[in-house]
Amino acid sequence: MAAKKKRLFTIGYEQTPARAVLDELERAGVKLLVDVRAIASSRRAGFSKNQLAAGLDERGIAYLHLRGLGTPKEGRLAARSGQYDLLHKVYTKHLKTLQAREEMDELSALVKQSGPVCILCYERDHQHCHRHWIAEIIEDRDGVTIENLAAPQI
Check pLDDT > 80 for residue 154.
no
Give me the amino acid identity at 123: E
Give mean pLDDT, residues 95-100. 97
CATH of 7-148, one of 3.90.190.10, 1.10.3260.10, 3.90.79.10, 3.30.565.10: 3.90.190.10
pLDDT single digits (tens) 40-80 = 999 989 999 999 999 999 999 999 999 999 999 999 999 98
d(CA 124, CA 7): 19
CB atoms < 10 A from the CB of 78, how many?
A: 20
pLDDT band at 1 (very low <50, low <70, confident <90, very high): very low
The pLDDT of residue 3: 55
Using CA atoms, how far residue 12 sits from 75, 119, 120, 128, 148, in Å, is 17, 9, 6, 10, 9
Whole-model pTM? 0.94
